Amino acid sequence: MTRFDNLFMDGRSHRLPASWQARVGDLLVLLVAGMLLLGGWMFKDWMYDQFRYLALDENEIAIPYPPNWIRQSSPRGDFRVIAPHDASAFPPSEGVRILPSPNAPLADAWPAQRAAELDDFIELKRARVRLADDREAFLLTYAFVARPEQEDAPPLVAVQGMDLVFRARYEGAKHLVAITLAAETSDWERAWPTFQRILAKLGVKTP
């Protein structure tokens, strides 16, 4: 026998696996495929729930925001991020403002301030809520008219917003923190799951 004979197998000596062995092999393939699908689904779900955080002060509450949203400059220097690759004239956004703390109750002071700041402001809903650390907060839902900055955008856009306002320490002093979640009125339903997760991270039970 030459060395080349060792490279070939006699077909008469080859036996097919028994039926139970074939079934076990098929089950193993299905099991591995199922584990890969489950792992991918769990990773996607884990990524879906991840956030970055904006720190206010030492031992203070941190404000969550979606990690893939894009930081946008603000003329007032406020923190603002918007949804990426969104074709809307007013993309879904999250903004954070640090303001002097008013002496008046938030339920009175904040709606009046927003009515003065926004065009065609309409209050839709208000609620007193609590955060994860049990501090009091005020939740205001409203609509207004915005003027988009994009050249090809319509001159006026109907926007729905939701403000969560509460008192917190910032740079060693008490301030009013206002978190604004906003999107075009027609896009609100699409943006709401993300907004809802932001509020849930803060411990707010949304209505």
What confidence tens digit (pLDDT) does each residue in 82-110 have?
999 888 889 999 999 999 998 889 999 99
Taking all residues of the chain, what is their mean pLDDT, rounded to a whole number? Answer: 83
pLDDT at 32 (0 to 100)? 72
pLDDT at 144 (0 to 100)? 98
Rg, the chain, Cα only: 28
Q: Is 90 exceeded by the pLDDT of residue 152?
A: no
**Banded pLDDT at 46 (limits 50, 70, 90):** very low
**Banded pLDDT at 8 (limits 50, 70, 90):** low
170-188 b/e with 16+ CB inside 10 Å = b?
beeeebbbbbbbbbbeebb
Q: How far apart are CA 86 and CA 150, in angstroms?
A: 13
Q: Name which of 197, 137, 132 is nearest 163 in CA terms.
A: 137
Architecture of the structural domain at 51-201: 3-Layer(aba) Sandwich (3.40)
pLDDT at 71 (0 to 100)? 92
Q: How far apart are CA 178 and CA 198, in angstroms?
A: 14
172: DSSP letter: T
Cβ neighbour number for residue 11 with a 10 Å cutoff: 6
Q: What is the pLDDT of residues 106-125, one digit of tens each?
A: 999 999 999 999 999 999 99
Tokens 């707010």, residue located? 204
Q: Name which of 73, 75, 81, 84 is nearest 53 in CA terms.
A: 81
Quickly list H helices, the chain: 19-48, 106-117, 188-201
Tokens 């609620």, residue located? 127
Q: How far apart are CA 7 and CA 103, in angstroms?
A: 91
Token code pair at residue 88: 């809307």
